[in-house]
Each structure stands twice: as C-alpha cells, then as structure tokens.
C-alpha cells in the first residue's frame, strides 16, 4: 500500500514514469466506473482525465486507505455530477466499446453481451446501481461502501442482493445467462 502512495507522491512531484504507472494501473477501472454511472464513453473519458488532474493537484494529508480507493472516490463523485448534468441537458451518447483486435464475430458477441450487462446495470435505480458499481467496478468492500454512502453495512448488502438479482433477471430475459 505504501509503495503505491510513494509512487503517487513521486508523480505529484513531476516524475513522468510514476505518473504513467499510476495511469496504467487505474485508468481502465476508473473508466468502467465512470461509464457505468454516466452511460457515455466520452463523458467517462472526461471524468477519468479530470480525476487524474484533481488527484495530482490534491495535497494528501494522510495515507489511510489506498490510492485505488482515493482515485475511485474522485472518479465516482465526478461521474455522478456529470450524469446529473447530462440528464438535465439530455446529451448522453452511445456506449461504444473500444476496438481491441478481436475477430469481428468475437467482437460482436462480446460487445452485445457487454451492452446487455451495461443496460441491465443502467436500468437499476441510483441507490442499487451505485452499490453495484462501487463493489464490482470500484473494488470497494461493503464496509467502505457503507462509509462512503453513509448507510449501514446491512443496507449495502441488501441493495447489492437486490441489484444483482435484478440484473440477473434482466439478463435471463434477454437470454444472456
């Protein structure tokens, strides 16, 4: 844990290699969080960029927790703000997965499955979606989510159970699982 904080401190002091390491370790996970909250590829990319900018400018007063949790918290909060702004203005774009060199058939099958999963998650109400995203895409523990959302751990577990059940039912209806 400390070595990642040391890497973060070096990045703040301008060490380009440390910066690249941090971005490489966290960009994909932060993008997933932002994408699931905003529903927009471009908004998710903007959120991740803003997350790293805010993080690098932040004066760290303590090293409790992880860099992963620190960045995830910033990204989640920025994504919620962006989703709220976009909802008011109605400018969400399509969810488009990146090209990763798979065959066309493989890409179509995987992309469709991912699209159904994203649709199932996005169909959840905010309270259920946030615990699911924070747990599975943010990597937070139930206790961390409860602390973050300021609710009881039992509430987090209950919402998680309902969210997973709802997603599973939607995916079964679509024949995905």
112 vs 155, more confident: 155
Cα dihedral 53, 40, 29, 162, rounded to 10, equals 130
pLDDT band at 161 (very low <50, low <70, confident <90, very high): very high
**pLDDT of 1:** 44
pLDDT at position 174, please?
84
pLDDT tens sequence across 18-74: 999 999 999 998 998 888 888 888 899 999 999 999 999 988 877 778 888 889 889
pLDDT confidence of residue 2: 56
Q: Would the pLDDT of 106 be above 50?
A: yes
pTM for this predicted structure:
0.65
Which residues have CB under 8 Å from 96's CB, separation 6+? 41
Instruction: Give the DSSP H/E element, type plus range, for residue 86.
Output: helix 67-89
Mean pLDDT, residues 149-176: 93
Domains identified in the chain and CATH numbers: 1-92 (1.10.1740.10), 97-177 (1.10.10.10)
Name which of 87-96, 127-136, 149-158 the model is least confident about: 87-96
Question: Which residues are within 8 A (CB) of 43 and not within 5 positions of it... i.e. 6 or more apart?
Answer: 34, 79, 82, 83, 86, 92, 93
Average confidence score pLDDT of the chain: 84
Region 75-83: mean pLDDT is: 91
What sign does the CA torsion over 55, 145, 124, 30 have?
Answer: positive
């Amino acid at each position: 844990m400390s070595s990642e904080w040391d890497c973060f401190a070096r990045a703040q002091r301008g060490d380009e290699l440390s910066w690249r390491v941090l971005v490489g370790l966290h960009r994909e996970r932060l993008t997933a969080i932002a994408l699931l909250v905003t529903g927009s590829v471009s908004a998710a990319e903007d959120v991740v960029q803003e997350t790293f900018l805010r993080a690098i400018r932040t004066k760290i007063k303590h090293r409790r927790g992880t860099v992963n949790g620190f960045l995830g918290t910033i990204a989640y909060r920025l994504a919620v703000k962006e989703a709220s702004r976009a909802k008011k203005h109605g400018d969400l774009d399509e969810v488009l997965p990146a090209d990763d060199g798979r065959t066309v058939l493989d890409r179509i099958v995987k992309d469709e499955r991912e699209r159904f999963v994203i649709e199932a998650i996005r169909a959840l109400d905010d309270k259920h979606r946030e615990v699911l995203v924070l747990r599975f895409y943010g990597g937070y523990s139930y206790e961390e989510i409860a602390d973050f959302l300021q609710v009881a751990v039992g509430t987090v577990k209950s919402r998680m159970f309902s969210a997973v059940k709802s997603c599973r039912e939607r995916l079964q209806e679509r024949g995905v699982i």
